[in-house]
Amino acid sequence: MVIVATGVGVLVAGSPVLFDVVRYGGAAYLVYLGIRQWRSRPTGDDGDAVVRGPESRWSMVRRGLLVNLTNPKAIVFFLAFIPQFVRPDRPLLPQYVVLGATVVVIDVLVMWFFFATAATGLRRLTRSPRGERTVNRLFGGLFVGVGVLLAAVH
């Protein structure tokens, strides 16, 4: 939303070259994340596994930010979405704050309820190194697939 609110979204959506740079950059980053996830080792202690701590919050925020900043479709979505709710004759900052807060609250609710429910089922699978490796490869493959689709589909 910040990209769209500052006008950068109009530049990205209006420039096929810039749109493609962002799109291919985002696709490459998703493929990188997918390969990294595929190759990650289980956190268990079965002999060949590497014991490591959980990913830091800053690392997750940074990764999520990079994925979103390199997703031109999100920028185009907000370019189509925001004008319906913003009145140019009124102060813009309060309107963007309300829109941003609404999007964040809805996103958090979806993440908490939908993905938390799904995570409960996955937790049983990831208790063993083999199950964790399977989940890593499944999600790694999905990330690579989405990255390839993002690059290939116009």
- What pLDDT does residue 8 have? 77
User: Which whole-number Å values give the CA distances from 120 to 32, 76, 128, in the listed order?
Assistant: 27, 33, 15
Residue pLDDT, tens place only, 23-65: 888 888 889 989 998 998 877 544 444 445 677 888 888 888 8
Which domain does 103 fall in, by range?
2-152
Give 19's pLDDT tier (boundaries 50, 70, 90): confident
pTM: 0.61
Task: Using the predicted structure, report yes or no on whether residue 4 has a pLDDT greater than 80.
Answer: no
- What pLDDT does residue 74 have? 76
- What pLDDT does residue 49 have? 47
Task: Using the predicted structure, report yes or no on whether residue 142 has a pLDDT greater than 90.
Answer: yes
Give 102's pLDDT tier (boundaries 50, 70, 90): very high
Cα distance between residue 132 and residue 50, in whole Å? 12
Tell me how many domains the chain contains: 1
